[in-house]
Amino acid sequence: MSDALQKTITLLLLIALGLLLKSKFRNKDQTNGIKEIILSVALPSTIFISLMKIEISSSMIIIPVVTLVFNFLMFFSAPLAFTLFGIEKNSPTGRTLMMLIPSLAPGLSCFPFIAEFLGEKSLAIAALADVGNKFFVLISLYILAMNMFLKNSDDKETKMGGKLKSLFASMFQEPINILIFLAIILLSFGITYNTLPSVITEIFDKTSAMMTPLVLLFIGLAVQLKEGKKRIVASILFFRAGITMIISAGMIYVLNITDLSMILLAIVIPLSAASFWPLAHISAFNLREEAKSMPKEKRTFDLELAVLLLAFSLPFSTILILAILSSGSFFAHTSTLLTSGLVLIALGALPNALSKVFVKVSKA
């Protein structure tokens, strides 16, 4: 058995263990507690170690910029889904998808597998890439949500400046961001991981070791099989993955990326699950409309759809990322990526196409 296959089976078994333990974690606060340990302790420690062990150069500023460009490319590609699935752009469903499709959450769905398959250097690069994504999901998507809300409700009371200040404050209070900036400052003074006191490195090593097992258990615990708009959610996830692969192929070609690890990073980071932050923005505006007793069909966003999309996005992305990383260099060709992307888009469009055919046949 190859090392990649053995590693993949081990990771999948940890996810399966999480599924088996679901009955022990019936309280949502329990699973949220595990998530908080991951995001506030294990993941920041892992990223800090990775950053402190590589040489940071000024040229690396392009990494978060490229990710930010990708976010905007996904944002402008999202309306293609509306054409395929018959969704009106200026509807609660359309506005919700415009928020969620271009967002990324690599922390839970991507970083653990990058660490396992590609190593610490690749993880450090991925952490820098997420800085651009954080700017997009925290600032750009909030401004977008605010604009949609104001157009839909004619609310003139909301002060944009105060909200943006609080978002910047929350961004700089996150443990991951604090340690990223701390690592960059230490490296700029010539301090590396090996020069830190052994007591400090021991703490980071121990807390970092928790990350992969906890993330995989959390994925198993967090999988939700709710009834609802599952067909449109599945279609959107297939479309999102497909258009992501096509954009990744284009960026790999334009930037002339030839290193295998960098190519795989350019593929799997964009395939991360949808971010929680758009849901936070959506929830905030939904509460204001709920307080005014606004009917659901007239609200700016579809909160139920957003929750369902996030619930299925994490396991869906995990499976894709694991498959790509465990396949070695198979996906490291633009032709393979383009073909895979088109196949995934076709799979997403298939249910809607079949339902139209069924309606026409039943009317005949």
For residue 116, the model assigns a pLDDT of: 85
For residue 49, the model assigns a pLDDT of: 85
**Does residue 129 register a pLDDT over 60?**
yes
Q: What share of the chain has pLDDT > 70, as a percent?
A: 86
Spatial contact of 81 and 236, defined as CB atoms under 8 Å apart: yes
Average pLDDT over residues 115-130: 87
Alpha helices in 21-105 (DSSP H): 28-37, 43-52, 62-77, 79-85, 92-100
**Residue 165 neighbours by CB distance under 10 Å:** 11
For residue 55, the model assigns a pLDDT of: 66
Spatial contact of 106 and 126, defined as CB atoms under 8 Å apart: yes
**Does residue 4 register a pLDDT over 70?**
no
Rounded CA-CA distance 217/112 in Å is: 12
Nearest to 46 by CA among 186, 215, 161, 187: 215
Average pLDDT over residues 350-354: 73
User: pLDDT higher for 292 or 339?
Assistant: 339
Q: Which two tokens stand for residue 25?
A: 């974690």
User: pLDDT higher for 247 or 223?
Assistant: 247
Average pLDDT over residues 279-301: 80
Average pLDDT over residues 302-331: 86
What are the angstrom distances between the C-alpha of 18 and each of 95, 119, 161, 219?
33, 24, 42, 7
Rounded CA-CA distance 70/292 in Å is: 37
For residue 345, the model assigns a pLDDT of: 92
Burial of 244 (0-12, 13-18, 19+ CB in 10 A): buried
Rounded CA-CA distance 25/340 in Å is: 37
User: pLDDT higher for 24 or 360?
Assistant: 24
- pLDDT-derived band at 226, boundaries 50, 70, 90: low
Question: Using one digit for the tens of pLDDT, what is the confidence trace for 211-221?
Answer: 778 877 877 77
Rounded CA-CA distance 20/2 in Å is: 27
Element counts in the chain: helices (H) and strands (E): 19, 0
H helix or E strand, kind and range, residue 295 = none
φ, ψ (nearest 5 deg) of residue 271: -85, 5
Segment among 119-133, 236-250, 257-271 with least mean pLDDT = 119-133
For residue 80, the model assigns a pLDDT of: 87
**Sequence ranges of the domains in the chain:** 3-356
**Does residue 1 register a pLDDT over 60?**
no
Average pLDDT, the chain: 82
What are the angstrom distances between the C-alpha of 112 and each of 234, 271, 289, 323?
24, 14, 38, 14
Question: Using one digit for the tens of pLDDT, what is the confidence trace for 33-81?
Answer: 887 788 788 878 887 887 787 766 666 778 889 999 999 999 999 888 8
Rounded CA-CA distance 239/233 in Å is: 10
Average pLDDT over residues 265-271: 94
Nearest to 81 by CA among 95, 68, 97, 102: 97
Q: Which two tokens stand for residue 307?
A: 């929750």
Question: Using one digit for the tens of pLDDT, what is the confidence trace for 229-257?
Answer: 777 888 899 999 999 999 999 999 999 99
Question: Using one digit for the tens of pLDDT, what is the confidence trace for 157-182?
Answer: 555 566 556 656 656 677 877 887 88
**Does residue 18 register a pLDDT over 90?**
no
Burial of 316 (0-12, 13-18, 19+ CB in 10 A): buried
CATH of domain 3-356: 1.20.1530.20
